[in-house]
Structures are given as C-alpha cells and as structure tokens.
Amino acid sequence: MGQVRALAALAERHLLRWRTRWGHETAARHLDELAAALAPQGWRFVKLYRRTEFPAPVPLLWIHASATKDVGIVVSALAAPGRTWAYHDAQRGRHGYLCLCNDAKAAAAQIDRLLKHRLFPSTW
C-alpha cells in the first residue's frame, strides 16, 4: 500500500509541474492581478514574463520597495492540487507557499506584511 501512495504522490508532482509549465499565460495573469493589488501600497515591480527575454520555466514577479531594491521578494504562480493556482516565494519553490491565487487581495496583504517586516524587522 505504501508503494501505491508513493507512486500517486510522484504522479501528482509530475502533473503539477506539467500544468505549471504549460500554464504560462495563466500564471502571468495571476501575477498581473497580484501586481495590481499591491500597486496602491507603493511597491514596485519587475515583471519577468517574456519568454524571449527571460527564458525561465515559470513567470516571475519581483516585488521591491521604491526606495531600495535590496529588500524584495520574487513571487511565482504555480499549479496547485484541485485545479487551483497558488503564489509561492520563488526562492523556496513549492515550500514557499504564500496564498492561493483566487484571492489576490489577501495575497497582497500577506506579501505587504512580509516586505514591511523585512524593511523594518521590529514590526511583526
């Protein structure tokens, strides 16, 4: 029975990786929604979406403070189980789960808190 579970988990990982690679436009749309939700709070963005300029396997959104580019986070939108998508910290991959993509405002609030804490460590 343990071998069946391991095989099912492996198949799910491959399916999610396949959905992420083939869903480039969907991921870019989710990242655009996140950028629109974060823009009123004063954050700046670098969109790394164009496949010809940035040959990354997944679209990336670099979010940073307007005063400095030293403090920031790179976010990716990856396929998640249940036909959903989720925002992740790109440095940590699937282990860097932030929020589901269906609620860009909640994800923006979470990323805003995270970046403010990185800018001002005493605020948490």
- Please, which residues bridge with residue 48 across strands? 60
Q: pLDDT tens digits for 3-30?
A: 888 888 888 888 888 888 899 899 999 9
pTM of the predicted structure, to 2 decimals: 0.87
The pLDDT tens digits for 81-103 are 999 999 999 999 889 999 999 99
CB atoms within 10 A of CB 97: 14
SS3 101: coil
